[in-house]
Amino acid sequence: MATQLPKGNKKLLNAWAFYDWANSVYSLVIASAVFPLFYGALFDIAEIEEIELFTLSIESSNVIFFTTAFAFLIVSLISPILSGVADYTGNKKIFLKFFCYLGAFSTIALYWFSLENIYLGLMFYTLALVGFWASLVFYNSYLPDIAHKEQHDSISAKGYSLGYIGSVLLLVLCLGMIMSQETGEGKVQMMRWSFVLTGVWWILFSQYTYMYLPKGNTAGGSFSSKVLFNGFEELKKIWRELGGQLKLKRYLIAFFVYSMAVQTVMLAAAYFGERELEWGSEDEKVTGLIVSILLIQLIAVVGAILTSRLSAKVGNVKALIYINVFWIFLCVYAYFIYTPFQFYIAAALVGLVMGGVQALSRSTYSKFLPKTEDTASYFSFYDVAEKIGIIIGMFLYGLVGELTGSMRYSILFLIIFFVTGVILLRRVPRNKSD
C-alpha cells in the first residue's frame, strides 16, 4: 500500500487527474462516438427507424435520449444516498471503485446489445451511464481534499486534458478495427469489441488513481436508517446555507442552466450527425463521424488550457460568459449544417470550448466554496444540480425532436438555456480574481 501523500503533493495530484485518463474513454467511445454509430447501424441494417417501447412507437434516436434522461434521474436520486453512506463509512474511495467497476463491466456487456433484446441492452446502457456519473460524484469531491485552492484550475484542466488524450488514443485504435472490415456486419462486430476494450481500459488505468488517493474522512457513529437519508438532509442543509452565500448560490443557478445545454449538446452531437447529415456512403458516415469526434477531443485539449489562461486574465465568471456566448453562435450555426465539411467546422469549434467550460465550471465552484471539511456534500449538491439539468435537457431535446421530426429544432431550442446562462452569470457578484 502506498504511503499517504500530503495535500498538494505532485504525485497525489497526478494520480487524481489520471482517473480522467481512465474513465474518459467511456464518455468518448460510448457516449460520443462508437456507440451512437453502432446504435444507428443496428437500425439501418434492420431497415427500421422506429421501435416499439411500452406500446409506444418512438424514433430510434429519441429512445436513447429518453433512456439517457432516465439514467440521469437514477443518478440524481442515488447520489444523495451515496453521499450520506460515504460520510458514515468515511471511505469515499470504496464507492469510487464500486461505481467505476459497475460502469466498466456494464460497458463490456454492451457487446451483447441487440434489437432483439433491446430492454436488456438499454439496461446495460443505463448501468454504464450510472456507473460513470456516480463515480464522478466521489472523484470530484476529492479536489478540495488533495489540492490547494490555487492549484484547482490547473489540476482540473490537467485532468480533462489527460482524459481527452487517453480517450483519443483508444478511439483511434477502435477506428482502425472498425475500418479494417469490409461489410456492415463486420464493422458492427468491431464496434462490439470496442465496448470491451473501453471497459478493460477503464478498469486497468484506474488502479493508479486508487494507489495514491486517500481513503477519506474518519468514520464515526453508529449505523441507522437515518444514514441512508443523511445525504438528502445534507442537500437540504447546503441549500439553506446557500441563502447566506449569494455568490455561490447565483453561480450554482447559472451553472445549472447553461450546463443543461452544454451536456445535452455533447451527448446528442453524434446522433445529430448520424441522422441529419448527408454523408454519402455508410463508410463515409462511420469515418466522418469518428474523425469529427477525434477533432473535438484533440482541440479540446488546447481549449481547456486556453480557457484556464483566459480565466487567469479576465476571471472565471467573465470567461464563462464569453464561452456561453460562443455556444449560442454554435447552436445557430448547427441548424444550418448539412455537409460533412460544415460538421467538421462545428466539431472544431465545439472542441475549443467543450473541455474549457467543464474544467472551468468545476474549478470555479470549488473556488466559491466556503471553508469547510464537508466538501463531499457540496459537490454532491453540485452533481445533483448538473444531473437534474441533464435530465431536463435530454428529455426536452428528445421531445422537441419527436414533435418536430428533426433534431435541428432541438438544437435551436437549447439557445434559450445559453442566453439565460449568460444573464445569470452576469448577476454573480465577483471580485477581480473571480
Q: Output the tens digit of pLDDT for each of the chain's 434 residues.
A: 456 777 767 888 888 888 999 999 998 889 888 898 898 888 888 777 777 766 677 787 788 888 989 998 998 888 777 766 665 666 788 888 999 999 999 999 999 999 888 889 999 999 999 999 888 878 877 777 777 776 766 777 787 778 878 888 998 899 889 888 888 788 899 999 999 999 999 999 999 989 888 876 544 445 555 666 666 777 788 888 877 788 888 999 999 999 999 988 888 888 888 888 888 777 788 888 888 888 887 787 788 788 888 888 888 889 999 999 999 999 999 999 988 889 889 888 888 888 778 778 878 888 888 876 566 677 778 878 888 888 999 889 889 988 888 889 999 999 999 999 999 999 988 776 56
The b-or-e profile of 392-426 (16+ CB within 10 A means b, else e) is bbbbbbbbbbeeeeebbebbbbbbebbbbbbebbe
In a domain, 274, yes or no: yes
Report how many domains make up the chain. 1
In a domain, 417, yes or no: yes
| DSSP collapsed to 3 states, 392-409 | HHHHHHHHHHHHHCCHHH
In a domain, 27, yes or no: yes
In a domain, 132, yes or no: yes
pLDDT (0 to 100) of residue 220: 47
Please check whether residue 114 is in contact with residue 42, taking contact to mean a CB–CB distance below 8 angstroms. Answer: yes
By the 10 Å C-beta count (0-12 exposed, 13-18 middle, 19+ buried), 74 is classed as: middle
In a domain, 219, yes or no: no
Q: Find residue 50's DSSP bridge partners.
A: 59
pLDDT (0 to 100) of residue 86: 61
Q: Distance (Å, rounded) from C-alpha 10 to C-alpha 146?
A: 10
The b-or-e profile of 244-264 (16+ CB within 10 A means b, else e) is eeebbbbbbbbbbbbbbbbbb
The residue range of the domain holding 297 is: 11-214+230-426
Q: What are the CA-CA distances from residue 26 to residues 35, 46, 165 (Å)?
A: 10, 26, 13
| 216 Rama sector, left if φ>0, alpha if ψ -120 to 50, beta otherwise | left
Tell me the CATH number at 287. Answer: 1.20.1250.20
In a domain, 187, yes or no: yes
In a domain, 223, yes or no: no
In a domain, 4, yes or no: no
Show the cell assigned to 216: 477519506
| 148 Rama sector, left if φ>0, alpha if ψ -120 to 50, beta otherwise | beta
Euclidean distance between the first and the last CA atom of the chain, given in angstroms as a whole number: 39
